[in-house]
Amino acid sequence: MQRKVLGRGLGALIPDSGEISDNNLTYIPVENVRPNRYQPRKVFEEKKIAELACSIEEKGVIQPIIVQRKGDGYYELIAGERRWRAVQKAGLDKIPALIRDVSDSEAVELALTENIHREDLNPIEEAMVYKQLIDEFHLTQEEVSKRVGKDRSSISNYLRILKLPRIIREDINNDLLSMGHARAILGIDPPEKQKELRDMILKKAMSVRDVEAFIRNRKKKGQDKKEKQRDIFLVKGEEDLQRHLGTKVKIKQGKKGGRIEISFYSDEDLERIIRLIKS
């Protein structure tokens, strides 16, 4: 069952009937609109803006922007920055808008939570939305999860990618690496090794599965090497004890410790070994 999204969405700012008539709209000067200060999208594709501008020139603005009134006749966007940019490109002087009376904090939260559900936000932009919700509203990851209707583990994964080296974040921002690649890269340390893996991914055009398999093999080899080193240490210890005690010794190591097995072959042999140990 889909989790219910808490808080108000932009649906709460649109008339209950679901229909928008001219009576609900105000046509405001394009130049009097300002972008939302908390817009998570930092890059707008000019090609898509141009396509939308052509559509607006032909059919007009089908969906109004939503704004809140600011001082001196200005308005701040809550939703619709792409349409606002396209209207400017189309050379129109005014744009239809729904003006809503909300507090600054409500407008920020509405803009951020609504942007999360936009399919064209890249992982870095989405991660920044979660970070802003946490920083601006002092929410926990669990509270953000409930507020936007996503699992807490998803919120955590998005926030983790913000810790990746800058060059990798830029690759994700530019669609050179996917969220899956980012999660896989986070599976290794330190940052220098992450950058090396990033170079390999781009050079060999590795899929997410390729990267995951590479990391598994790398960890297995590291574990095998560690096991081999540990075995050498145990063997040397066994040899030293055997020379000192003059009998067979076996050292067995477990996850949290181990035990030493010392063999004896008669009561006299046992007494001899005990004397050596105590001496």
Q: Each residue of 222-256: pLDDT tens digit?
A: 665 665 665 777 778 888 888 888 888 888 877 77
Sign, CA dihedral 136-141-147-153, equals positive
User: Is pLDDT of 19 > 60?
Assistant: no
The pLDDT value recorded for residue 114 is 67
Give residue 70's domain range.
10-162
User: Is pLDDT of 102 > 50?
Assistant: yes
Assess whether 64 and 147 both reside in one domain: yes
Whether 57 is catalytic: no
Phi, psi of 278 (to 5 degrees): -80, -20
Q: Give one DSSP letter per residue of 14-29, joined into a string.
A: S-TTS---TTT-EEEE
The pLDDT value recorded for residue 228 is 60
Assess whether 262 and 132 both reside in one domain: no
> In this structure, are strands 33-34 and 75-79 parallel, antiparallel, or unpaired?
parallel
Per the confidence metrics, is the pTM higher than 0.85? no
User: Is pLDDT of 186 > 70?
Assistant: yes
Assess whether 154 and 244 both reside in one domain: no
Q: What is the mean pLDDT of the chain?
A: 83
* Percent of the chain surpassing pLDDT 70: 83
In a domain? residue 183: no
Assess whether 119 and 21 both reside in one domain: yes
Rounded-to-integer distance, Cα 262 and Cα 255, Å:
21
User: Is pLDDT of 23 > 80?
Assistant: no
In a domain? residue 111: yes
Q: What is the CATH number of the domain that holds 39?
A: 3.90.1530.30
In a domain? residue 135: yes
* Percent of the chain surpassing pLDDT 90: 37
The pLDDT value recorded for residue 3 is 35
Q: Number of folded domains in the chain? A: 2
Assess whether 155 and 231 both reside in one domain: no
The pLDDT value recorded for residue 223 is 62
Assess whether 84 and 17 both reside in one domain: yes
Rounded-to-integer distance, Cα 189 and Cα 167, Å:
16
Among 46, 81, 106, 192, the active-site one is 81
Which of 99, 134, 162 lies at the terminal end of a domain, its last residue?
Answer: 162
Tell me how far CA of residue 193 lies from CA of 43, 74, 210, 213, in angstroms: 29, 49, 17, 16
In a domain? residue 203: no
The pLDDT value recorded for residue 25 is 87
Rounded-to-integer distance, Cα 201 and Cα 206, Å:
5
User: Is pLDDT of 171 > 70?
Assistant: yes
The SS3 assignment for 34 reads strand
The pLDDT value recorded for residue 139 is 86
